[in-house]
Amino acid sequence: MDEFERSGKSGQEFAAWAGVKYPTFAHWRQERRRKLGQSKAAPKELKWLEAVVAEPAAPGASVAIHLSGGVRVEVSSVKLAAELLLALGMRVC
C-alpha cells in the first residue's frame, strides 16, 4: 500500500501493474483505511512538485506540466498551471 500511495497511479492501474485483481486490491485498501481510522474521504497525502526554470520566460511562453503516467500538459500561463494543479487536488504555493 505504501508503494501504491507513492506511485500516483489509480487503484485500477496499480492493481494491473502489481498483477492482482482490482477487487482484491480494493479490499486491501479498504482494510488499511479501516485500520488507520480513515474514511474514503480521507485527504490525499501532500505531494511535492519540482519546478525547474532554466532561464527567464519570454513573454507568451508556455508552462509544461509532467504528470504521472507520462502525461504532459502545456498551458499558456503560470496562473493556468496553478489552477490545473489545484483542480487535480495538488497544493500550490
44 contacts: CB under 8 Å, gap ≥ 6: 89
Supply the mean pLDDT for the chain: 76
pLDDT of the chain along its 93 residues, tens only? 878 878 888 888 888 988 999 999 899 888 888 887 765 554 555 566 666 666 666 777 777 887 777 778 888 877 777 787 777 777 665
Q: What is the structure's pLDDT at 9?
A: 84
